[in-house]
Amino acid sequence: MNGTPSSGLAIDVHGLNKHFGDKQVVIDLSMQVRRGEIFGFLGPNGSGKTTSLRMMCGLLTPDSGSGTCLGFDILRDSADIKRNVGYMTQRFSYWDDLTIRENLDFVARLYQMPDRRATVQHALDHLGLTERAHQLAGALSGGWKQRLALAACMLHKPQLLLLDEPTAGVDPMARRDFWEELHRLAASGISVLVTTHYMDEAERCHKLAYIAYGRLLALGSANEIIAAQKLDTWLIHGTHLVELTEQLRAQPGISQIVAFGTAIHVSGTDAAALERTLRAAVADTDSHLERAPTTLEDTFIYLMGRSRDNYRADA
């Protein structure tokens, strides 16, 4: 493999499987990711998202399956892949007792980068870290730690970024700035694979995969995944919504009921039965019923509710 495929695919994997002990955590995963694409992974905790990402990028060897990452074979060319991938873990993994500049300089030394000082300075300037360059990493807020981590994993100019829940615990403004930077990187041709539980972040991805306990259940854009579940959704506003929710459970046409602020979202796959049930339920009450578009969060909750935990004792 020469690492320069003409197909435009950053990742092309087929039939990946992985066991840890007696549990299979990834089951026959096949997927393609295009260059310059932001690809998001959704799924319950423990469903195999991180394991899948690491296998697709040559960072973890699958039990079986095959594929390429950046044109390199994921089984034979892991060293070549690692040189072209930037990996940002869930937890901040840099040195609290070093400054921002010292952290970046240390990472640059690990990569044996020529012209190390200029490379570090460029990273500081690009991500707005210059004025804080002498601040200890341990004293940084979550948003600034995030910027440092992104700067560090971009130092060696990777073609692919692997981001594992990168914005967990970060404030909304810092999350927005971070995603704007990801879109700038994608526009320059860098591929981004990211796991997230935030629906607003998922909607910013070009394509999504929903993985539940090792199995790929949905793949496509946010709109494609929503449409594929064929859910009809209604909002109910009013008082006594808790009592109404209990009354509606297990009624004809209802697949799920979820509270959202001062309303409940009620969804089902049988549109006619759902509407009949809801209109009967709100008749002669002060509740107001209105049809609503099914959101990605409605769909995510629906898929999660139908996922089987492969770590359950009876699985």
pLDDT of the chain, 315 residues: tens digit per residue: 445 444 689 999 999 999 999 899 999 999 999 999 999 999 888 888 889 988 988 889 999 999 999 999 999 999 999 889 998 877 767 888 999 999 999 999 988 888 899 999 999 998 889 999 999 998 988 888 888 988 898 888 899 999 988 887 778 888 888 899 899 999 999 999 999 888 889 999 999 999 988 899 999 999 999 999 999 999 999 888 998 999 998 899 999 999 988 899 999 999 999 999 999 999 988 899 999 999 999 999 998 887 765 555 444
Q: Of 225, 260, 284, which residue constitutes the final position of a domain? A: 225
Nearest one of 311, 68, 35 to 186, comparing CA atoms: 35
The verdict on residue 4 lying in a domain is: no
Residues 90 and 313: their CA atoms lie apart, in Å, by 28
Asked whether the beta carbons of 220 and 289 are under 8 A apart, the reply is no
- Both 55 and 78 in a single domain? yes
- Both 74 and 15 in a single domain? yes
- Both 168 and 120 in a single domain? yes
What is the DSSP pairing of strand 207-212 with strand 38-42? parallel
Domains of the chain: total:
2
Residues 210 and 26: their CA atoms lie apart, in Å, by 13
Q: Of 168, 192, 225, which residue constitutes the final position of a domain? A: 225
Residues 69 and 11: their CA atoms lie apart, in Å, by 5
- Both 15 and 149 in a single domain? yes
Residues 173 and 171: their CA atoms lie apart, in Å, by 6
Strand partners, 40: 194, 208
The verdict on residue 304 lying in a domain is: no
- Both 160 and 64 in a single domain? yes
- Both 177 and 92 in a single domain? yes
Q: Hunting for tokens 């459970």 — which residue is that?
A: 249
- Both 238 and 214 in a single domain? no
What pLDDT, on the 0 to 100 scale, is given for residue 81?
A: 93
The verdict on residue 99 lying in a domain is: yes
The verdict on residue 302 lying in a domain is: no
What pLDDT, on the 0 to 100 scale, is given for residue 114?
A: 85
- Both 121 and 171 in a single domain? yes
From the number of C-beta atoms within 10 Å of its C-beta (0-12, 13-18, 19+), residue 305 rates as exposed
Q: What CATH number is given to the structural domain containing 256? A: 3.30.70.100
User: What element of type H or E holds 88?
Assistant: strand 85-88
Q: How far is CA 151 from the centre of its chain?
A: 20
Residue 91 CB neighbour total at 10 angstroms: 9
Asked whether the beta carbons of 277 and 254 are under 8 A apart, the reply is yes
Q: Of 209, 225, 241, which residue constitutes the final position of a domain? A: 225
What pLDDT, on the 0 to 100 scale, is given for residue 309?
A: 58
Asked whether the beta carbons of 52 and 211 are under 8 A apart, the reply is yes
Instruction: State both tokens at 124.
Output: 């500081």
Q: What CATH number is given to the structural domain containing 60? A: 3.40.50.300
Instruction: State both tokens at 274.
Output: 């759902």
What pLDDT, on the 0 to 100 scale, is given for residue 308?
A: 64
- Both 271 and 156 in a single domain? no
- Both 47 and 154 in a single domain? yes
| Structural domain span for residue 132 | 9-225
The verdict on residue 243 lying in a domain is: yes
The verdict on residue 277 lying in a domain is: yes
The verdict on residue 118 lying in a domain is: yes
What pLDDT, on the 0 to 100 scale, is given for residue 252?
A: 93
- Both 246 and 195 in a single domain? no
- Both 93 and 64 in a single domain? yes
